[in-house]
């Protein structure tokens, strides 16, 4: 009789260990898929911003206005619809920081920034919780370039 209790306790313990291991595996895979989805959204936003800057440049060239002093350097303002996670202009010279999961335009360095919701998949040369992309200066179409090499979930973010 005592053997039955010991055997059942062992079976339940084994079952609990298997369930715990499976739960941990699925949680890890869920976070990986979540990071890949966020990475795709970041790349899509960067592509939209680059396209908006190029279209703005081409429109200026077609009108022969050239490189205007008042040229819009905040690419978010060139979009038809602002992304839901764009929180506006930030001034890093005043010590403001980026909130996780949001885009900002920094008027001090003339760059855009994004801080991932899950920074575990982000590998950088220097510790940086947010990714920063500098907006180039005229002449020519404005470009968006990463301030350092960002790798996220094994992919380069440019």
What residues does each domain of the chain span? Answer: 2-157
Q: What is the pLDDT of residue 47?
A: 93
Residue 87: exposure state from Cβ atoms within 10 A (0-12, 13-18, ≥19): middle
| Cβ within 8 Å of residue 151, ≥6 positions away | 122, 123, 124, 157
Q: What is the 3-state secondary structure (H, E, C) of the chain?
A: CHHHHHHHHHHHHHHHHHHHHHHHHHHHHHHHHHHHHHHHHHHHHHHHHHHHHHHHHHHHHHCCCCCCCCCCCCHHHHCCCCCCCEEEEECHHHCCCCCECCEEEECCCCEEEEECCCHHHEECCCCCCCEEEEECCCCCCCCEEECCCEEECCEEEC
Residue 112: what pLDDT? 92
Q: What is the pLDDT of residue 2?
A: 66
Give the pLDDT confidence score for residue 94 in this predicted structure. 63
What is the per-residue pLDDT for 69? Answer: 43
Measured distance CA(106)–CA(147) in Å, rounded:
13
Give the pLDDT score at 67: 52
Return the number of other C-beta atoms located less than 10 Å from residue 7's C-beta: 10
pLDDT of residue 22: 92
CA distance 15 to 21: 10
**Beta-carbon count within 10 A of 90 CB:** 22
pLDDT along the chain (158 residues), means of 10: 78 90 88 84 92 88 62 84 89 70 89 83 69 86 87 80
Contact 35, 113 (CB under 8 A): no
């Amino acid at each position: 009789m005592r053997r039955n209790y010991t055997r059942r306790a062992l079976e339940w313990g084994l079952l609990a260990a298997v369930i715990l291991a499976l739960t941990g595996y699925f949680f890890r895979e869920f976070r990986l898929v979540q990071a890949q989805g966020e990475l795709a959204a970041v790349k899509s936003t960067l592509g939209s911003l680059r396209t908006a800057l190029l279209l703005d440049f081409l429109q200026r060239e077609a009108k022969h206005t050239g490189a205007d002093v008042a040229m819009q350097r905040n690419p978010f303002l060139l979009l038809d619809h602002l992304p839901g996670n764009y929180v506006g202009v930030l001034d890093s010279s005043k010590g403001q920081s980026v909130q996780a999961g949001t885009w900002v335009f920094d008027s001090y360095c003339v760059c855009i920034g994004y801080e991932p919701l899950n920074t575990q998949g982000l590998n950088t040369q220097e510790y940086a919780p947010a990714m920063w992309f500098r907006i180039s200066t005229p002449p020519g179409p404005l470009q968006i370039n990463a301030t350092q090499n960002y790798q996220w979930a094994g992919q380069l973010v440019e």
